Amino acid sequence: MRDVTSMLPLKLQDIALEVDGRRLLEVTATSIRNKRRTVVLGPNGAGKTLFLKVCHGLLKPSSGRLDFVAGKSDAEVRRRQAMVFQKPVMLRRSVRGNFTHALAMAGFGWRERRRLADETMAHFGLSALADRPARVLSGGEQQRLAIARAASLNPELLFLDEPTSALDPTAARQVEEMLELLRAHGMTLVMTTHDLGLARRFADDILFFHNGRLLEQGPADTFFTRPQTAEAQAFLENRLVW
């Protein structure tokens, strides 16, 4: 990770996102802390992905404040975070070309792009796929590529939307191992998932959403053993609450 002052925590205060008069997201107050693994939980339609997009700057909230550490420019904040989507976005290039293109867009020179691409592929076990077209890879391989491509940019903060959804157990475990490597290197990770087993193994902190509202937040061990809301309790017991 960069040897610079962290831009975290990311603080959100009185955040609301409204579309056509309908409130889709409401966060009274929360923060993303440095070098923590935050898992965002909730049923389908709870607002988890919207929350990631607001935090990452892809969606502008209708009201409220979203602040990184004072003194960081918008350009620097953008450079120091990345997001991996539920359906990986693959460029019409080789695996290596996906890395070098992303690095070029981030301003790296040709020699540095090649070096970082090769180092990242080796680090995450993708070297054997370097010359294959990215769009012919399996779902698990594409997800690993998407995460490794984001990691090659060395972000301080990485958002991941359902990174193991629709993957077989082996591929899901490979993705989880990648995330552990990123955590070990000091990266702050914010992830949505429906896999409660993964959430229990992975999370330091939990944010629980229901019907677009952040209902509960806190340490993972507290959430899983002593949920504070009826909605969270029902979610953990696989019961639907409307």
Residues 92-136 have pLDDT tens digits of: 999 999 999 999 999 999 999 999 999 999 999 999 999 999 999
For the record, the structure tokens of 144 come out as 């690993």
Residues 10-30 have pLDDT tens digits of: 999 999 999 999 999 999 999
CA angle centred on 213, ends 210 and 217, rounded to 5°: 85
Question: Tell me, what's the pLDDT at 93?
Answer: 97
Which class for 52: exposed (0-12), middle (13-18), buried (19 or more C-beta within 10 A)? buried
125 near 119, Cβ under 8 Å?
A: no
Q: Is the pTM of this model over 0.75?
A: yes
Task: For the chain, list the domains and their CATH numbers.
Answer: 10-90+157-236 (3.40.50.300)
Question: In the predicted model, is pLDDT for residue 1 greater than 60?
Answer: no
* 32 phi-psi bin (left φ>0, alpha ψ -120 to 50, beta other): beta
Question: In the predicted model, is pLDDT for residue 67 greater than 60?
Answer: yes
Question: Tell me, what's the pLDDT at 74?
Answer: 85
Mean local confidence (pLDDT), 154-178: 95
Residues 196-236 have pLDDT tens digits of: 999 999 999 999 999 999 999 999 999 999 999 999 999 99
